[in-house]
Amino acid sequence: MLGENIRRLRAGKGISQVELADALGVTKQSVSNWENNNIQPSIDMLLKLAGFFSVSTDRLLGLDDRRFLEVTGLSDEKLRHIQQIIDDMRG
């Protein structure tokens, strides 16, 4: 599950394994091994991955399928608009 999630998140950002490796300070081989479930990232690296992809470690590990939007810096008025859109879409 972890490997699939790393691959999906990386592809969603439109970056290669090399680009992810460079961003995290590891080798492309490490990223490939994580994605293929050959090895697991360390706890420290798991935290870096979660931060890089702006997801929780639980989401990265497949323990939580909730999704979140980064809304830091938006005004209360804009947040109310976003909440209204979400409420309308839920029906």
pTM of the model: 0.75
Give me the torsion for CA of 35, 39, 44, 49, rounded to 10°.
Answer: 0
The domains of the chain, with CATH numbers, are: 2-61 (1.10.260.40)
Between 33 and 65, whose confidence is greater?
33
Dihedral (C-alpha) 69, 33, 31, 35: value to the nearest 10 degrees? -30
Q: Are residues 35 and 7 in contact, defined by beta-carbon separation less than 8 angstroms? A: yes
Per-residue pLDDT tens for 73-89?
999 999 999 999 999 99
Instruction: Please tell me whether residue 42 adopts helix, strand or coil conformation.
Output: coil
d(C-alpha 27, C-alpha 18), whole Å: 7
